[in-house]
């Protein structure tokens, strides 16, 4: 490619995917390329008066940065455009400045007044970008300006700007730690923010700046627990880790009774036995009895706030983000009662199968958990079987887990697996398998002989590494019962001619020397052979030859006296000073002379003392004192910046510090005002029948939802009588009004026929509403059911979607007792059943309405439709458009709300309209059919507005039409999951 063509391509803005990139190194030939012209060209475009050229230049510059190219020499040309009126150019300029502000501090400081003006820009993205650039200029002279900007941004009306302010706090703190007190005030303010977008970022700032200020979390604890499900994924990880440490300081150990019993019975014996063991055993028994009595006297009662944390994090085990699942798993391991920790096992096993990139970290945590909580992973034993495609480090970790899970029941299965692994070509893996067999034999005495015989068979393996590892493990096993296995010791003695691996030879020699009395005929002969090859052996083997000679001299001096002197003389002139020193020491100790000290009398006791059998333990034992998932846990050493996991308190701190004042909405005169002031319920409600007082951010009781759900709150009795009486007095007036209304309705219903009275509410559906089949007449044995979303308010509960159902009895006999049973819902969803239809005669049709709270999701509501003879499993799944309700907005209000929901809360798609959908009436009809939205009157484009039924999240839709059927669809939504699904449905409606 010539230089001129490269220049022309760059000037025209087009580039080829396969185009070679030229370097700046003259030796590479880049000196003949046109790189210098490229940047001159971009500078000319940036100096142009045309916004289109500036935009094109900025796109290419940002693309260069994304590819890792250096664009720092363009800083002066780019920074001049920071005041450009074109919003798209300004956004890209700020992206560039964030990247290079720290490198080009002097030039950035010249434009600081422009950045300050950007903090006042109407567009939230510009305000956030200006703050980001300010915090990226690492100069102490602008610390006051940064502090002022952060304080203003913390009060900004846009959650995105407040989130950016939280991100800027740690940057300012690292630049000037003396600003800590002022930054803590900002953090305290942002912690009180009720927006999920801000929560994760401010908690990260809290962890960086003042993790010791636990008092800042008290009043926000319940709010963080309830918001957790809606926070973005990485924010969830940060909050969960922080709440784990918080809970360890504020609540009691839920396994306190178990801990007391363990402490009472954990008197570690001395390494060598002593005469005082019997007295110590009696003391241990007394301690154990005392601990058991204490555990019985003080039954543990879990704090409601502790339960709130466990309950609200449990749904996150289903998260698609592996880091979130790991965070919840470590929280449950460190905080949950022993009986409840098992719920994390399935989630961790799912991660192993679906996320190969996180297997190493998951297995590290499972290996630690399986030591103390073996039972919860036993049902998933096969999930830890090793595949031939696994990397070596994964294989070794799976071996650790399998060894930890081994018990008398499954050991035969595990040993069969190990037999297969030994045939692997991966030698490191084979060595780890042999060590695992040794650990199994140590822990389970029933299979010790079987494992030992299997390891002895490996001694005839052709691979030296396999034989060597087997020798080392056999040596450790034989120390447990040497008198029973003298034949194995003899067999190993014969291997000294063939085994050349130093560690294996040293192990055999130590074993023969230690138990020379069990092989009195073979040991001297082994010493004879070793004396011949002494000068050619490795240092570790020489030391064991010297030890063997000393032990044989003390037990069989007649046969080995001369051999011992010969070996000691060889060692006396060895090159290694350790060997020379050992030989000199042993000679004085075992061969008494006039100069020998009193110590020589005790030579036998020194050399032939009984040694305790080694304990083969997992390297993950006691590693759980590090917080699981942390770098310190991974390394098994405290890493820089690690925050210690606090110990459980002996007495629970005052729980009232987490109480938040409840707004007195009961003093309002009208019911409507009171309803407006009610706090929205958390996304996930309690689906397990566990309840506690003041679980929401504003301590609102969810007794109403509890009465509608099928699971009662019998398990927990932690709600106080004072709170219940207060709630009763607050709702007394409301109940009286509802009773009067119900009496009036009953009087009206009594005048109607029986067949109409049984229905809760019947709404005449519009002809445009789509009907869906719930039950086919063949499947339903003559009963067919269709349903539609009536798009009318469901009067018993405004947060529910009204679903109108039409029952048709096509059978020849009557259908009786039509009702709903066994409702199965995703967490947080609720159903208001229609009243039972007592009789549906043959050939007739009946209509009823039920309410479903889908929690702003398209998850299906599953239940059984029952008659007096049969039960049919059915489900209702809503299109995303049926989760909306129309909202009237003026054009000015629409533009204002849309301005606040730009950037991250905006999706734009270009489309070509269907031929039949190119007039205004058709577009409006199709959009309102796809989504239950309201048209904004007098808008410049076709604009629609609505809110989600459950949470009231704002949804704005704009369809801007152009020539020849081209159009642009823009959706602004507070919940982007809703927005993404809505774009898909509206696109389909407008293009088909």
**Whole-number Å distance between alpha carbons of 34 and 101:** 27
Q: What is the pLDDT of residue 748?
A: 47
**Whole-number Å distance between alpha carbons of 856 and 953:** 9
Q: What is the pLDDT of residue 204?
A: 93
- Angle made by CA atoms 314, 317, 319, in degrees to the nearest 5: 125
- At residue 715, the 3 state secondary structure works out as coil
Q: What is the pLDDT of residue 33?
A: 44
**Whole-number Å distance between alpha carbons of 221 and 899:** 32
Residue 622, CA distances (Å) to 288, 545, 606, 628 in order: 22, 37, 33, 12
H-state helical runs in 518-653:
522-532, 539-555, 557-572, 577-590, 603-607, 631-635
**Under CATH, what is the fold of the domain 40-248?**
1.25.10
CATH 3.40.50.1000 applies to domain 882-991: no
Q: Is the pTM of this model over 0.75?
A: no
**Whole-number Å distance between alpha carbons of 386 and 761:** 59
Torsion, Cα of 475, 476, 477, 478 (10° steps): 50
Q: What is the pLDDT of residue 261?
A: 43
**Under CATH, what is the fold of the domain 771-878?**
Immunoglobulin-like (2.60.40)
Are residues 751 and 838 in contact, defined by beta-carbon separation less than 8 angstroms? no
Are residues 34 and 9 in contact, defined by beta-carbon separation less than 8 angstroms? no
Low-confidence ranges of the chain (pLDDT < 70): 1-38, 107, 110-111, 257-300, 482-485, 592-598, 613-616, 622, 625, 661-768, 939-940
Write the pLDDT tens digit of every residue in 728-738: 444 444 444 55
Q: Could you state, in order of their start, the residue ranges of all structural domains in the chain?
A: 40-248, 406-481, 486-609, 771-878, 882-991
Write the pLDDT tens digit of every residue in 62-96: 888 888 888 777 877 787 777 777 778 878 887 88
Q: Which long-range contacts (CB under 8 A, 24 or more apart) does 43-52 make?
A: 43/74, 43/77, 46/74, 46/77, 46/78, 46/80, 46/81, 47/77, 47/80, 51/84, 51/85, 51/86, 51/89
**Whole-number Å distance between alpha carbons of 278 and 958:** 85
Q: What is the pLDDT of residue 941?
A: 77
Radius of gyration of the chain from its Cα atoms, rounded to whole angstroms: 38
Structure-token pair, residue 916: 């039949």
């Amino acid at each position: 490619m010539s230089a001129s063509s490269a220049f022309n391509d760059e000037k025209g803005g087009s580039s080829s995917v396969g185009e070679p990139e030229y370097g700046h190194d003259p030796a590479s030939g880049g000196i003949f390329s046109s790189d210098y012209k490229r940047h001159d060209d971009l500078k000319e475009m940036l100096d142009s008066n045309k916004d289109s050229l500036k935009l094109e230049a900025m796109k290419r510059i940002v693309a260069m940065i994304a590819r890792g190219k250096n664009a720092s020499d363009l800083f002066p040309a780019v920074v001049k455009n920071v005041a450009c009126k074109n919003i798209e150019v300004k956004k890209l300029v700020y992206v560039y400045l964030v990247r290079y502000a720290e490198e080009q501090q002097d030039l950035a400081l010249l434009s600081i007044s422009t950045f300050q003006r950007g903090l006042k820009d109407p567009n939230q993205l510009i305000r956030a970008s200006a703050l980001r650039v300010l915090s990226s200029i690492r100069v102490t002279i602008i610390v006051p300006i940064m502090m002022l900007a952060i304080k203003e941004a913390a009060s900004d009306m846009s959650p995105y700007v407040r989130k950016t302010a939280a991100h800027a706090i740690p940057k300012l703190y690292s630049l000037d730690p003396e600003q800590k007190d002022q930054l803590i005030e900002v953090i305290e303010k942002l912690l009180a923010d009720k927006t999920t977008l801000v929560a994760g970022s401010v908690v990260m700032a809290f962890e960086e700046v003042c993790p010791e200020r636990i008092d800042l979390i008290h009043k926000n604890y319940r709010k963080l627990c309830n918001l957790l499900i809606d926070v973005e994924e990485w924010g969830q990880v940060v909050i969960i880790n922080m709440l784990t440490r918080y809970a360890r300081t504020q609540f009691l150990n839920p396994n306190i009774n178990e801990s007391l019993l363990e402490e009472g019975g954990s008197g570690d014996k001395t390494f060598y036995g002593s005469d005082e063991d019997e007295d110590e055993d009696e003391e241990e028994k007394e301690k154990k009895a005392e601990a058991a009595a204490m555990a019985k006297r003080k039954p543990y009662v879990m704090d409601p706030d502790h339960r709130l944390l466990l309950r609200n994090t449990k749904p996150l085990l289903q998260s698609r983000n592996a880091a979130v699942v790991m965070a919840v798993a470590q929280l449950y391991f460190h905080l949950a009662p022993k009986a409840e920790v098992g719920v994390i096992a399935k989630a961790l096993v799912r991660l192993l199968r679906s996320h190969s990139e996180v297997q190493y970290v998951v297995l590290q945590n499972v290996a630690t958990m399986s030591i103390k909580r073996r039972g919860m992973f036993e049902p998933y034993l096969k999930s830890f079987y090793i595949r031939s495609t696994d990397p070596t480090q994964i294989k070794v970790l799976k071996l650790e887990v399998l060894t930890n899970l081994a018990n008398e029941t499954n050991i035969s299965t595990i040993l069969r697996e190990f037999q297969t692994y030994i045939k692997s070509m991966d030698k490191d893996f084979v060595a780890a398998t042999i060590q695992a067999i040794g650990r199994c034999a140590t822990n389970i005495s029933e299979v010790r002989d079987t494992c030992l015989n299997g390891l002895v068979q490996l001694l005839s393996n052709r691979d030296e590494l396999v034989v060597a590892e087997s020798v080392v493990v056999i040596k450790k096993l034989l120390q447990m019962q040497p008198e029973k296995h003298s034949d194995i010791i003899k067999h190993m003695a014969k291997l000294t001619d063939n085994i050349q691996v130093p560690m294996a030879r040293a192990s055999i020699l130590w074993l023969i020397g230690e138990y020379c009395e069990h092989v009195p005929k073979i040991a001297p002969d082994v010493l004879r052979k070793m004396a011949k090859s002494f000068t050619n052996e490795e240092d570790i083997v020489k030391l064991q030859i010297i030890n063997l000679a000393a032990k044989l001299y003390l037990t069989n001096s007649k046969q080995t006296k001369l051999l011992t002197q010969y070996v000691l003389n060889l060692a006396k002139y060895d090159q290694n000073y350790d060997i020379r020193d050992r030989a000199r020491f042993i000679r004085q100790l075992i061969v008494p002379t006039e100069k020998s000290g009193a110590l020589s009398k005790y030579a036998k006791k020194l050399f032939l003392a009984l040694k305790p059998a080694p304990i083969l333990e997992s390297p993950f034992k006691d590693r759980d004192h590090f917080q699981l998932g942390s770098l310190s846990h991974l390394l098994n050493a405290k890493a820089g910046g690690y925050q210690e996991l606090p110990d459980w308190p002996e007495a629970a701190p005052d729980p009232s510090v987490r109480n938040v004042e409840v707004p007195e909405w009961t003093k309002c005169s009208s019911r409507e005002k009171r309803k407006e002031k009610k706090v929205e319920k958390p996304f996930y409600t309690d689906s397990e029948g566990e309840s506690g007082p003041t679980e929401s951010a504003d301590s609102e009781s969810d007794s109403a939802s509890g009465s509608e759900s099928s699971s009662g709150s019998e398990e927990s009795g932690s709600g106080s009588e004072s709170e219940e009486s207060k709630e009763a007095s607050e709702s007394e007036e409301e109940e009286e009004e509802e009773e009067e209304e119900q009496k009036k309705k009953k009087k009206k219903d009594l005048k109607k026929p029986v067949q109409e009275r049984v229905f809760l509410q019947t709404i005449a559906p519009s002809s445009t509403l789509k009907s869906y089949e719930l039950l086919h007449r063949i499947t339903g044995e003559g009963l067919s059911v269709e349903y539609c979303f009536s798009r009318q308010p469901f009067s018993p509960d405004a947060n529910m979607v009204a679903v109108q159902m039409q029952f048709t009895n096509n059978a020849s006999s009557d259908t009786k007792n039509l009702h709903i049973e066994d409702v199965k819902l995703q967490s947080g969803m609720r159903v208001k059943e229609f009243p039972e239809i007592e009789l549906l005669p043959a050939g007739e049709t009946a209509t009823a309405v039920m309410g479903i709270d889908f929690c702003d999701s398209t998850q299906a509501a599953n239940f059984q439709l029952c008659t007096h003879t049969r039960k049919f499993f059915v489900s209702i799944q809503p299109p995303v458009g049926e989760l909306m309700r129309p909202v009237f907005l003026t054009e000015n209000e629409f533009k204002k709300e849309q301005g606040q929901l730009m950037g991250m809360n905006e999706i734009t798609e270009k489309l070509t309209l269907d031929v039949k959908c190119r007039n205004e009436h058709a577009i409006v009809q199709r959009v309102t059919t796809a989504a239950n939205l309201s048209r904004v009157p007098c808008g410049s484009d076709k604009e629609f507005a609505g809110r989600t039924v459950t949470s009231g999240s704002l949804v704005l839709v704009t369809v801007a039409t152009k020539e020849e059927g081209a159009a642009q669809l823009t959706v602004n939504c507070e919940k982007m999951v809703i927005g993404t699904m809505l774009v898909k449905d509206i696109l389909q409606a407008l293009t088909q």
